[in-house]
Structure formats: structure tokens, C-alpha cells
Structure 1
Amino acid sequence: MRLFAIRDYRRLFGAQIIALLGTGLTTVALGLLAYDLAGPRAGMVLGTALTIKMVMYVVIAPLAAAYVDRFPRRTLLALLDVMRAAVVLALPLVTEVWHIYVLIGLLQAASAAFTPTFQAVIPDIVTDESDYTRALSASQVASTMESLLSPVLTAVALAFISFNWLFLGTSVGFLLSGLLVLSTHIPDARPSAHTEAWDKAAAGIRTFLRTPRLRGVLALNLVVAAAGSIVVVNTVNYVRDELGGSQSDVSWMLAASGGGTLLAALALPRVLDRITARTVMVTGAGVLVGGTIAAVALIAAGLSTWAGTAIVWTVIGIGMALIITPTGNVLRASVAPNAIPEAFAAQFSLSHLAWLITYPIAGWLGTNAGFALAWSVLAFLAGAGAIGALLLWPRHDSRQVVTGPATSVRPARRTDRSTLSKAA
């Protein structure tokens, strides 16, 4: 495959896989740690921890974009990996719920700076449009493989060790990721068209608000967050308390969602060669709305079964991949090259703003009022987001927007026209 012939991309992809696997272990272990400390109120604890995560993502990501061109990106990414490794290593030592909140705040502040910076590096290394499309798909496959394999590996590991040891695996993963980043040649960020830090931080957000297709992406972010919160926040309590499952059963149910995402991500590169990104992403929104409604039906009608839950979780995983995977192409087709870091940081921040809304609903409302009401509210939000995407993203949209002082439309190269036809 031509993409993996690119040495620097190959090493960065390896760093991503290792870090993702470690993150996946932490995600599962954090849910089990919350259950160990809070029991039936684990959903509320996990919801609070994830809300802190979203606050950090929303606040830190634009600030990171504002200053990223002032530092060597390779050094910055490696230092952030080391910081994450140190914080995760402290998680097994917590004895109080508030310890989780402090450490998660530090961990996610580092991740909020790392992820959009990492995402913005890829277009500078993979310059061919078709290769970049496949790089996006490979990134999504890696993420979904983490969603699939991490719970499976966790289920196997928990048969032999305590879940606290999973945090050690995460710490090692971050350190290995940092070493691979240091072995890669990463060009420094292009100087931004904006000189003031606040202008840099706000530039990507302004681009989203004034670009029709990106306003559609904003609405789709809400759909993903509404459906994904059911899986991320409520799986632990749902499997343990509603289905009477074990710690390992939690992992297998999360793997069902990851499996659905993996199947969709593997199929998408060929699909996107023939079908527009808008069609794929709007279809994903419909799948997620259906998945959330099915989840409500499971709990409201007393139909909670292992098979039914696994099917619904798989459907949600498929829908999330249909929206998330093409997003990078849509962003790249909408901004000038020197605005790519700002666009990715804005998407990272704004997408997690949606999760900031939905995580408390799944965690706090789910704990205090029950899954039926919480999931009904999330299903309503998913439906509102899907309708919003249809209205905000024109069916015929061929403009490529340039951020920065110039407001004219940039002439498209031949490769750009192909991408724009997919993003329309």
C-alpha cells in the first residue's frame, strides 16, 4: 500500500496505535475504578470525569492551536505523551472519587493539546489527496480497532490481574508513542495568517460558523455525542446492574460497539470514492438516531437482553464511523493549508462541546432518573442534530473557503475538485 511506504507516516501511525491501545485500557479501567469506588453511582462518577474531560478539550484545544506554530511540533507531541504517561501511572493510587477528577483534568488537558496537533501533522506528511483519504480511514480503523481490541484484551487480562494494572499498560503505551514521535521527521507548523493568540484560537471556530458544510458537521457532532454517550457512560452500570454481568462482560459489550465501527471504517474508503461525504455522514446520522431509539425501546419496554443490547451497540458503532471517518476530508476541503491546524483544533473543541452536553445527561440523569428518561433525551438530541445537518449543509455545495485576511474563494487544483465533490 503506497500510504505505508511513507516512512514518517508509518511511524506516526504506529505511535497512534500504541497510544490508542493504552487509552482504551484506561477507558475500561476507569469505568471499573469508578464502580469500585462508587458502586451503583459509578455512572454519575464516570459522567463527571468525562465532563471534566470535555471541558478541557473545549478550552485547551483552541489555545493549543494558537501557540502550536511557536514550538517544534515533534518535541511538543513527545512531551505531552510523557505527561500523559505520568498522570495515568498515578490513577491506581487513588482512594477518593475527587482524586479521579483531578487526575483526569490533567490527563485530558494534555490530550486536548496533543490530539488536534497530531491530526494537523498528517496532511503535511501525506500530501496526495487519495492517500490522505486512506490515511483518514486508517486512523479511524486504528481507533475502532482500539475500541474492539481494548475491551477484549481487558476481558482476558482481568481473568489474571486486577484492573489497576491496566493503568500501567497505558503508561507504557504513551511512553512508546513518544519515542516513535521523536523518531519521526515532523515539519513545524506553517505560520498562521493571524498574529494575535486570540485571533488564532477563534479563527477555526469562525470558519465553522460561516461555512455551510462545516455548520452541518457541527450538527452531526451532536448526533455522534448523543448516541456515543449511551455506550461510553452507561455500559458499565447497564451491564452490571440491568443485565447482571461481570467486569469482563462490560468489556465484551464495549467490543460489540467497536466491532460495528470497525466494519464501517473498513468499507468507507471505497464507498467515499463513489458517494459524497455528505450522503455518507447524513446516513450515519440516521443510523445513530435509529440506534438511540432502539436503546430506549430496550429499557422502556423491559426487553433488555444480551443479544438485543449487543445489536444496538453494534448499530451505534456503525453510525459513529459513518460520520467521524469522512470529517477530516471535509475539513481539509474547506480551508487553506496554513489554516489546517486551526480547523482541526476547532473541530476537536466543538465536537467535544457536544459531548460536554451529552455526558452529564447520560451520567447524572441516567443515575438519578433512570436510563429510560436519559436515553429518551439523548435520542431527541440525536434527532435534532440529524435534522439540523440536513438543513445546514446544502445538498449542492462546491465552495472552498479560505480563512485568514483574504475572503475570496481559492481556485481549486484538480485534486481539490475531487475532494470538493465528495465534501459537497
Structure 2
Amino acid sequence: MRLFAIRDYRHLFGAQVIALFGTGLTTVALGLLAYDLAGPRAGTVLGTVLTIKMVMYVVIAPVAAAYIDRLPRRAVLVVLDAIRGAVVLALPLAGEVWHVYVLIGLLQAGSAAFTPTFQAVIPDIVTDESAYTRALSASQVASTMESLLSPVLAAVALTFMSFDRLFLGTSAGFLVSAFLVLSTRIPDARPSTHTKAWDKAAAGIRTFFTTPRLRGIMALNLTVAAAGSIVVVNTVNYVRDELGGTQSDVAWMLAASGTGTLLAALGLPRVLDRIAARTVMTTGSGVLVAGTIAAVVLIAAGLTSWIGTTLIWTVIGIGMALIITPTGKVLRASAGHSAIPEVFAAQFSLSHLAWLITYPVAGLIGTNAGFTAAWTILAALAAAGATASLLLWPRHDGPESARTPAEITQHTLSGDPATLVRAA
């Protein structure tokens, strides 16, 4: 099945790409806004902003998933896009740091409800397994193209305009995304087997704790967050203060990480057709551990250089793609169809819980104790997550380890082989 022959997926993919590029411009602009308001303490401001984002994601995502199946999903996605576009327009008007905190809280509350809903829609539209695998890869390629091209576009734009104009690009992106979603036929969510909202919110998280492979993914979330925090939080101050770079140099360094992610994501569809997701993802965790250790050596030994930093940022980008890209496939293989929204929301929430741990380390410790201390802690957390994933995710990940205890009991009682969930 040709993936882009599916009209509704094509429109949704276009909406994702446009919104991602708008978000990418905001990522660059937000770091520069923090530097403009707080100077050398920009890392603390940015770390706090991102911590607020993670709190919203952790708290709101599972609650939103509990209620959204009662509402038309297309209308929900359109309204959330419109809200986010309006909030972003207000960001360049912020004159105090606390203004930024409030606006980011509103913005990320909308994203916390939007993203897991959007992710859960895709398997309802792309039902063929092979096409769905490619849809996951296309989604990752879109994200990595954003990581690569948004900083480049920002770098070019910053040569003839101030950074606050970049927020206009984000707002426009959200509005165009809303129009594309509006043109898509999105089926409403299938009713959950859980009647109470709290049961729905807790069901996906419970599935993670009772399914071996998903426990492994929780550990890998920590590795991704630890390595990613170095890039997301510390690039601004590191490039400006340690390397003596400009605003455009910040954007180019972020693009280096995006290049690594893009290179990995482009080759993953064929790799995932032949190699188990566990192997690919644990390899990615090893790459991220190596990248964070290299970053510690670079800063601790006083070897800071443009070439060394670019190489390390690229390696981190590669490792993140190796873990993030196959995750959706593993989630889909580990839940029944009606439980997919709950499991995607749980992953969204739990993965950002890991970022909630690592962002303050990168921001607060990086500002007050230096990059060496912060990156050493983050490297240790990355290694802990990588090691835990190997222990929690069985090497021979057969059908039994892909199911929750409740599903195993049901299969044993009924003898119905249809209850088996295939391994990713």
C-alpha cells in the first residue's frame, strides 16, 4: 500500500509538518528570548520553561485521553491548534520572565492534549502494518527535518530580522495545520472498555508497568531525555558563552543534532523490516551514552571546539532517532485497538516525566554548578536508563511478553489465538 495515496493521512502529515516547522521556529526564538531577558542565566529560565512544559505533559496528557473519546477528535485537534496559535502570538510581547512562564503553561497545556490525540489517530487511518511502519518513519523524518531545517531557516531569518518575529511563523503554522486537519476525515475514537475517566487515565500507565517491553521503553525514555536535555537546554549558553558564537550559530548547532536524527531516520524503515525494534532501540541507547560521555570529556578537559561539539551533537541526534522512531510500532503491538489512545497518551506522559527530571539538571545545575557537573549527572542518567532497558525488556521478546497479565489470563481461559499480540 502506498502510504501517501491515503488522502486523510496525506492531509494529516501535511498538518504535522507545517505545525512542526512553526514549533521549530519557536524553539529557537524561545531560547533567544530567554537569553534576552536573563542573559547568562538563560539556562535557568529555559530549564524552568521546559520544566513547566513537562509538568503540563505529564499531568494533562492522560486526563485528556480519558475524555477525548467522548468528543469528535477532528474538532478537538482544530480547536487546540487555534488556541496554540493565539498563545504564541502573545509570547514576543512578554516583558518579564514570569510572563513567559504563564504563556508557556497555556501553550503546552494545549500541546499535551493535542499530540497524543494526533498520534492515536494515525493507526485508525493507516491500518496496513507495513504502511503504518512507514508512517511512523515519515513522522520521525518530518520531526528531524524540522530539527534540521527550522534552525537553518531561523539562522537565515535572524540575519535580517529580530528573533521575536520568529513567533509569527509558529502562529501561522498552527493555523494552517488547523485548516488541514479540518479537511481530513478523522474517525471518532472507539469507546474505551473503561467507563470511569480515572480508569481510562490510569489504564495506559498500568499497561506500561505490567508489560515487559513497555517497561524497557520507560527506561529508554530516561536515556533520550538525559542526552536530549544537553542539546535542548544548554546549546544557547554553551554556544554563546563557551564558544563565543552568535544567535545564528545557536541555530546552526541545533541543526547539527537535527542532521544526525535525519540521517538515522531515513534509513530506519528498511532496517526495522529486518531487525527487531529492541535491537535498534538498545543500540540507540548505547549511542546516546557514548555521546553524553563525549560531551563530558569535551567540557571537563577544556577541549571545547566547534568541530568537536558539532560531532557530538550529531551523534546525539542519531541516537535519539534510533529510539524514538520505532516506539510507535512497539506501542501498537502491545495494546488492543481500543486501548491504543490510552497507551499513546501514557507514553507521551511517561516520556515527558523523564524530561521533567533531566531539564532541571541541565538548566539549574548547568547554570549554578557548570556544564561539567550537569553533563556528568546526565551521562549517568543516560547510562542508568540504557542498562535498565536491557534488564527490563526480554531479549527474546515473543508474544507472551507483548501482552499484559489480563490479556494472558483471557487467552488462557478462552484458548483463542486471536488474543495474541504480535511482537514488534
Question: Which TM class, normalised by the smaller chain length?
Answer: over 0.9
2:403 aligns to what? 401
Match of 2:367 in 1: 367
The one-letter code matched in structure 2 to 1:239 is V
Matching of residues 8-407 of structure 1 within 5 Å: 8-399=8-399, 400-401=402-403, 407=409
**How many percent of aligned residue pairs carry the same amino acid?**
79
For the 8 Å contact 2:8–2:125, the answer to whether it is kept is yes
4+ residue segments displaced more than 3 Å: 402-407, 409-414
Matched AA of 1:341: P
Check whether the contact 1:207–1:403 (CA below 8 A) recurs between aligned residues.
no
Unmatched runs of 5 consecutive residues or more in structure 1: none
Amino acid at match of 1:408: Q
Q: Identify if the C-alpha distance between structure 1 residues 285 and 406 changes in structure 2 by more than 3 Å, giving closer, same or farther.
A: closer
The offset of 1:413, in angstroms, is: 8.9
The aligned counterpart of 1:411 is 417
Shift of 1:408: 2.5
How big is the shift at 1:411? Answer: 3.2
* 1:59 to partner: Cα distance: 0.2
Amino acid at match of 1:245: G
Structure 2 distance, partners of 1:306, 1:115, is: 35
* Structure 1 residues 157 and 404: alpha-carbon distance in aligned structure 2, compared to 1, 3 A threshold: farther
CA displacement, residues 81-104 of structure 1 (integer Å, 9 cap, x when unaligned): 000000000001000000000000
Question: What are the superposed Cα offsets for residues 17-42 of structure 1, whole Å, 9 maximum, x if unpaired?
Answer: 00000000000000000000000000
Cα distance in 1 between the residues matched to 2:289 and 2:17: 30
- Counterpart of 1:3 in structure 2 is 3
Q: Spell out, residue by residue over 1:307-357, the C-alpha distance to the aligned partner (whole angstroms, 9 max, x if none).
A: 000000000000000000000000000000000000000000000000000
Q: Normalised by the size of structure 2, how large is the TM-score? A: 0.97
- What is the root-mean-square deviation of aligned Cα atoms in Å? 1.4
**Partners in 1 of 2:417 and 2:149 — Cα distance?**
44
Mapped partners of 2:299, 2:269: distance in 1: 35
SS across alignment from 2:355: helix
Distance 2:405 2:26 in 1: 37
SS at match of 1:71: coil
Question: How big is the shift at 1:385?
Answer: 0.3
CA contact (8 A) 2:211 2:404 kept: no
How far did 1:401 drift?
2.1
Once the two structures are superposed, what CA deviation does each residue of 1:228-254 show, in whole Å capped at 9, x if it has no partner?
000000000000000000000000000
Amino acid at match of 1:94: A
Q: Which letter does structure 1 place at the counterpart of 2:86?
A: A
AA aligned to 1:207 is T
Contact 1:53 1:104 in 2 (8 A): yes
Deviation at 1:403, TM superposition (A): 8.7
Contact 1:402 1:408 in 2 (8 A): no
User: CA separation of 1:267/1:93 partners in 2, compared to 1, >3 Å: closer, same or farther?
Assistant: same
Match of 2:239, SS? helix
Q: Distance in 2 between matches of 1:319 and 1:407?
A: 37
Q: Separation in 1 of the partners of 2:350 and 2:409?
A: 23
Question: In the aligned structure 1, how far is the partner of 2:105 from the partner of 2:405?
Answer: 32
Name the SS of the counterpart of 2:314 in structure 1: helix
Structure 2: which amino acid aligns with 1:348? F
TM-score for the superposition, normalised by structure 1: 0.97
Shift of 1:377: 0.1
Distance 1:338 1:402 in 2: 14
Alignment CA distance shift 1:110-1:404 (3 Å): farther
Number of aligned residue pairs: 418
Tell me how far 1:397 sits from its aligned partner.
1.8
Rounded to whole Å, the distance in 2 between the matches of 1:70 and 1:138 is: 29
Q: Offset at 1:383?
A: 0.3
- The one-character-per-residue Cα deviations of 1:53-79 (angstroms, maximum 9, x if unpaired) are 000000000001100111000000000
1:70 is paired with a residue whose SS is coil
Determine the C-alpha separation between the residues in 2 that align with 1:10 and 1:406: 37
Is 1:280–1:322's contact at 8 Å kept on the other side of the alignment?
yes
State the AA in 2 paired with 1:250.
V
Retained in 2: the 8 A contact 1:74–1:181? yes
Superposed CA offset, 1:251-275 (max 9, x none): 0000000000000000000001111
SS of residue paired to 2:417? coil
CA distance in 2, matches of 1:273, 1:201: 33
The alpha carbon displacement at 1:404 in A equals 7.5
